[in-house]
A and B are shown apart, each in its own frame.
Chain A
């Protein structure tokens, strides 16, 4: 019995200096310190969850949430939003033909225009979005299929893109710039908006394409190789993505600040959407003066250069016009949620 009772660790044990060191030293008592911490007597708040304590809390939560919810709901309702589907699934849709005949391989763009009417004027800045449905930009392999170094202007990555870009890494022996599936599937419809005034003339509405991407993306994350000087030279030895019609340095030939990798449409696309139904900012319609609305009510015409096929995966394409408030786009959900939760709490508290 004794045999089993001998403890290894302690036998030749760690010579803790606790016991009588040096013979003459003070023999320390082993009495534990009487501190609140060691005796587990730290001053503490001990909430007890009973109806008596909890229900008032519910009540207070309800009181706070309901006004917030109402505020949110109202401000969401004040946002004006217009949405039009131009996919062309329906035969009556002007884009029906384009949608039907189109594929990635078509060389000639298909044009169609969709007329629509705004019932109410849009007062402040209007944001123009294109929306896609059923487009799984969040697919795992899709999300990965990019090379951030290349997009950041890294020369070596430009010539030798990351493996993640496969199978959109090289084309005809040359590295693709920008590589990867995301870039390859860049949204390439062109949307133009015209206001049809009372006498039937088409007034082009100026669409601003600057400032639609995150500032940090435009200025930090995305960079052209070798600066913004001669992009043609910089991208020499690379090939355009398979589905693209033109190389990356021709995305916006008019503005060198918006060309190549730092093209804002491209940057916006590269920020992959979280959900299969999403919208992406396309253009901004700036408010001109404080007196006239940005978009007065009336008839409009949307001209579409129909390039982007979505029918293969049962997708939809939309154009959205929206104003925004401090809390973003139109979304009554949060207001409703606050009101609901608030009311539940309130009623629980009252009971």
Chain B
């Protein structure tokens, strides 16, 4: 609009341009007219006729196209083509081996199974399409002049649709009218992105001012907008009114299909995109197809099978040629001539034979392998789904497998890339403590309360789950009052977004909003601060009463009140009341939107406004208000804006005070407002915001209403104040802050409240002028706040700084001018707005900072510890600041206080290169130094098979990692990471990173995250898993081999992109260690078995070729040959492939080391394929030659001899499976019995059914005769035994002499639970250092250790001496953070350890070392800390850059010659705690240890 008034010329020009370019432009835009203008929606003249209608069809096939299309798709799989080719080959008489019809059977069977599956899926899609297409909605009918019910599928582009509350949008609709007085419409997009908070959508601006109901007949605009695209967050276009006026359309105007209307009684819109062109449908891309590592490996071996097949065929062909050749011209009677009676030359018959052999040996390429693998994977997915341990009661959701075909990859992971917030932590932001104006309020009571929650957590979970059902039901009924159709749709949407969304919605409707568990809501205020707030507000009240200016308020109190006001309003939280679900609290004083135009600004700041009833709230006065405004604007629009501005400002300023001190608007006491404060619900987009709002409320400073143009805050004594909201500069990740511009009702100043990351805010603080006392105070506040910020960060709290800025009218006007330009800019609007925000957010005045605790999820440290023991390298990639990240990393045991930390911070490419170089040197030096240590450890690990120490396990897969992983942690920040990811440095970076035990990347962008994953994945050739919960993790999740999404509080984007979705991080442990392991080993064994089975079976025929003149004859009846794979031997392997457990779930979790098995692909190595092949050939030799010799020179006929061989082979194969089966359930027994029975039944029926039908074999009565023959039974006994003897013996020897860890695990399983637990717990104590709490910190302040380190020091000449002051500082800093860190971490650690202690039950008694001890006297310490802090104000900047909170005793700091402060590698090393913990085994355990050792030796 601004554009219209300001630049009419330009608009015209562009219009002309557009007309000229009309032809090409038509391709890029869509023009939507109202359908009402035309008689018939499909009529010739209707310009909308070419757009897709709203009928959706997600089916792939129609009745007619099903067969050809499905077959065509199936033939995309090469194997299918191959098998069809072979089946067709049978139709060529010269080469055929089987009855052609019969040979087709398996292919047809496989194809039809798949086809039926596809058909069923398609039918389901069709049915749901039908259902959706037949839902009702209200469409305006021109003939009847009212809205009539129509089916969804009848909705067309250009139709007017009326939507009611809780209805689901049938298409993408442009919002033209809303019953909401703000002309807003709230929608819930949970079905699209899983975010349950309501989103506001606005009526198109030109329809904004319509007073009465929207009348479609009067609509005369033409909409031009983008072509349909799938970007949910983008919509651009404009509406051209008949008058020629054009209004821009934004995504705020578009309601998307699939969303639900909430809180809005009625809305009317015009359909812009329908059916398949809606954004929701365009976003429909099917599940991803990934190929697992195992499958890739398998394909290689399938290829080898083909080679073997060809070699065998070639061999047979050559053999046949020679055999023919030796007879020369003397044709023996059994060498039948060709049908024409002509003689076949040896060469020709060899060629024919080659083809025949391919048919005969086709079984070698297992046709059923692919189908079987699919079936097994589906079963595996089913079992993972059903696992109770992966079910989260709180959210009523369980693990979702979204990718069905990579389950086994879970067992082969080597690197885990994890997000921090929401993944490791709960993303339940809890206000923990704050500092205002340089004074810390420690909120001890709050801390205690939080600690209590942690304890109660487990009990509470049960309670909520039980109590949860009742209110939820209520809400459901109330919600689904509308219509039946609606219900079905909402059902659908539940399904769509997964259980999490549903659970979330249920909980929202019933009790609380997102981010509002009692823990997050009930904040215990700090008494001191509360007093101050009270005092302050009472003073203000007093001052208001006495009309004193606010500036007389003492500055610290003013800061406090400002601080809380900032907390309350500097956000986008929406307030709603709970008794009317999702009905926002309506309190209306004025009707305005944030300042959008210059006129608007002028209007608002004109004195006339005061008289025009701005404080009235009745709807009638609203209208008058509006109309008067309109008049006003028309008046004022002509002169140049700037001059008016200044003029008005001058007039206005003196009156401000009076205005704002006017009486509280009457409607405060009106009937609309009868809600208790406590019942207000805050719907925030991010949990931090909610946490802060709740925190402010705890101080009686509560947000009670938010409208687009104003925020209402209730303050103690002062009552409700409404802040006029002028602008909201939303949060973005580059700025890392958000601001609101408001007019303060008490001072009437234009105030900017800014809230953001400390790094962002601190740079923008106005440099205090050192002269004045105020300036000094400011400086002190800044430095102290910085101090506390560092402390908070050291505690692992998320820090936010709050600042404000008071703008003068001139400044504001000046800024507004450019801001409005930016807002209305056509091109590069985003950039301009960004710049505009930057211009505003300068010279801030620091108010204070908050520390929000993002608690670790349950079991994260344990999970990380055991994943690490499992040989997984865990990298944490987070956007958080370094200190916070490091401390969370400590808290979750990612970093170990024992290990040294390499911190890489560089601000240039060269510096980064140097740093990496140095680090490499250091690592090498350390490696050399510790090699003896390593060797000892290696010896140790050889000794006991259990002792696969996490650090040494990756090195066991030494083909990939030449580096030994040291006790090193790497911390790198985003900027350095950017340099390190450069092509030239990435190798070095990887070299450093891979030799570290854990890597922590802070401040990394989503893109960097995915780059890191990609780099590791491609360069190291390892299997990577990325886990995350937010939109910023999506790219990482998509890049990794396996993407895991946490269905957390941050929407569903991560889940949508993931292969697996977990409710909680800790489930990753079971998913990987248990299910991953099982899936991998099951599938690996099954695939190997498949190869073996087919090779063994085919080799039987191959051996026979030596005795039939290589003529391609088979002693195995074609029926058996063809159905062997498909029927006789299919079931047991499926059962085993689905159910077999090599090690029990408990043991797998307790001995994470067993996971290495999968990482190193130990179940399926390339040589194993060949071993299996050799075994197959051996077994087939036995199965062939025992019957051969037993029937040698007898009157046995071809099939009477061949049938026993088939039987023997089947038995051998089944027993072989039996040997490989580790767990025999009744299903295994049943399946094997069934297979055997099936074979005999089929054989008996087949042999009895028809005496003449089955040429050429004609096995009539063969089986029956065999069953009367004792020889048959004798063969059945000896052959399998002889065939399997070597394998059985090998397995036994392997199990005894050199058991793999997995086998040891199985042996452990066999032990009685008690003994097993003892052994395992003993191991845990021994491995202690990883799990036991940190050794006492304070006792460790010894001088730096000598020994190895000396050498290191020498290699870096610039180390200790040059670092004099820094080191000192470091010592000081080092000491200071210890206390609070410890006091805070003490409980954390304890909780983390408690469960493990429980696990280790009987032995905790014997290990007095473990619990409790490291807890220091915390209160005392924090006092002491306070002092240190006071003293170290000056040296602050020194220890900001260094990594705080390291309990190490010695530290080596390297400063590089060219580097500044921020470039330093820090090597820190602590004293030999490891040794200590080794020695600390209690004598009482000695015996146990001995027992264990003896166990190893005996095993």
User: A residues touching B (Cβ–Cβ < 8 Å)?
Assistant: 1-16, 18-24, 26-27, 29-34, 38-40, 42-55, 58, 61, 65, 68, 72, 104, 129, 131, 135-149, 151-152, 154, 162-164, 166-168, 181, 184-185, 214, 216-217, 220-221, 243, 268, 271-281, 312-313, 315, 326-329, 331, 333-334, 337-338, 341, 344-345, 348
Contacts and interface: CB of A to CB of B under 8 A. Distances in A.
Nearest 5 pairs between A and B by C-beta? A5-B1056, A6-B283, A8-B284, A313-B332, A54-B1292
Nearest to B489: A15
Contact of B1057 (A1, A10, A22, A163): A1
Contacts of B1309: 46
Contacts, number: 378
B3 interface: no
Given A6-B280, A274-B1201, A27 B334 contact: no
Contacts of A54: 1288-1289, 1291-1292, 1295
B1056 A6 contact: yes
A286 B1269 CA distance: 22
B391 interface: yes
B491 A148 contact: no
Nearest to A69: B1278
Contact of B1278 (A24, A43, A341): A341
A143 B1251 contact: no
Nearest to A40: B383
A138 B1195 contact: no
A84 B211 CA distance: 120
A2 B1293 contact: no
A30 B398 contact: yes
Interface in B269-292: 280-287
Contact of A10 (B232, B495, B1108): B495
Given A1-B1034, A8-B286, A141-B1111, A279 B1193 contact: yes
Nearest to A279: B1195
Contacts of B1256: 143-144, 146, 164
Contact of A167 (B286, B330, B341, B393): B341
B396 A29 contact: yes
A83 B1175 CA distance: 39
B1494 interface: no
Contacts of B280: 6, 11
Most buried by A among B1038, B1107, B1278, B1310: B1278
Contacts of B771: none
A9 B128 CA distance: 10
A231 B495 CA distance: 78
A65 B1145 CA distance: 40
Contact of B397 (A30, A40, A145, A345): A30
A49 B232 contact: no
B281 A20 contact: no
Contact of B336 (A23, A33, A181, A337): A181
Contacts of A271: 1197
Interface string B1147-1182: 000000000000000000000000000000000000
A1 B1295 contact: no
A1 B1053 contact: yes
A140 B356 contact: yes
A12 B396 contact: no
A51 B1278 contact: no
Interface string B726-765: 0000000000000000000000000000000000000000
A15 B488 contact: yes
Contacts of B92: none
B284 A7 contact: yes
Contact of B284 (A11, A18, A20, A276): A11
B650 interface: no
A4 B1191 CA distance: 66
B1270 interface: yes
B1225 interface: yes
B1255 interface: yes
A32 B492 CA distance: 21
A31 B1274 contact: no
B193 interface: yes
Nearest to B388: A32
Interface in B378-414: 383, 385-388, 391, 393, 396-398, 402
A133 to B, nearest CB: 9
B1296 interface: yes
Given A39-B388, A49-B1288, A272 B1197 contact: yes
A286 B1294 CA distance: 58
A272 B385 CA distance: 56
A166 B342 CA distance: 11
Interface string B328-341: 00111111111111
B1337 interface: no
A42 B1226 contact: yes
Given A141-B336, A220-B1260, A341-B1282, A51 B1295 contact: yes
A3 B256 CA distance: 13
B1269 A14 contact: no
B476 A27 contact: yes
A137 to B, nearest CB: 6
Interface in B194-209: none
A8 B233 CA distance: 19
Q: Please indicate which of the listed interface residues B333, B1227, B1299 has the most CB atoms of chain A within 10 Å of its own CB.
A: B333
Nearest to A146: B1256
A10 B400 CA distance: 13
Given A328-B1271, A331-B1190, 18 more contacts: A4-B1038, A4-B1056, A5-B193, A5-B1055, A7-B286, A10-B496, A24-B477, A40-B1141, A47-B1222, A51-B1297, A129-B1195, A137-B334, A142-B1111, A167-B338, A274-B1197, A333-B1190, A337-B1278, A341-B1282
Contact of B1111 (A48, A140, A312, A333): A140
Nearest to B491: A19
A85 B1292 CA distance: 50
Contacts of A137: 334, 1198
Contact of B1107 (A68, A275, A338): A275
A332 B1499 CA distance: 42
Nearest to A57: B1288
Contacts of B1189: 331, 333-334, 337
Nearest to A33: B386
A43 B1144 CA distance: 12
A266 B1294 CA distance: 56
A193 to B, nearest CB: 18
B335 A280 contact: no
A19 B501 CA distance: 12
A348 B1288 CA distance: 11
Nearest to B1288: A54
A149 B1251 CA distance: 9
Contacts of A274: 1115, 1191, 1196-1202
16 contacts: A5-B1057, A11-B281, A12-B128, A12-B129, A13-B495, A32-B386, A40-B1139, A42-B1139, A46-B1309, A48-B1303, A54-B1292, A148-B1252, A164-B1256, A278-B1193, A278-B1194, A313-B333
Interface string B99-129: 0000000000000000000000000110111
Given A21-B491, A54-B1292, A40 B1145 contact: yes
B492 A12 contact: yes
A313 B324 CA distance: 11
Contacts of B492: 12-13, 15
A49 B1226 CA distance: 20
Most chain B C-beta atoms within 10 Å of own C-beta, residue among A44, A221, A272? A44
A20 B476 contact: yes
A136 B1108 contact: yes
A77 B469 CA distance: 82
Contacts of B1200: 274
A128 B159 CA distance: 98
A123 B1115 CA distance: 35
Interface in B430-447: none
A89 to B, nearest CB: 15
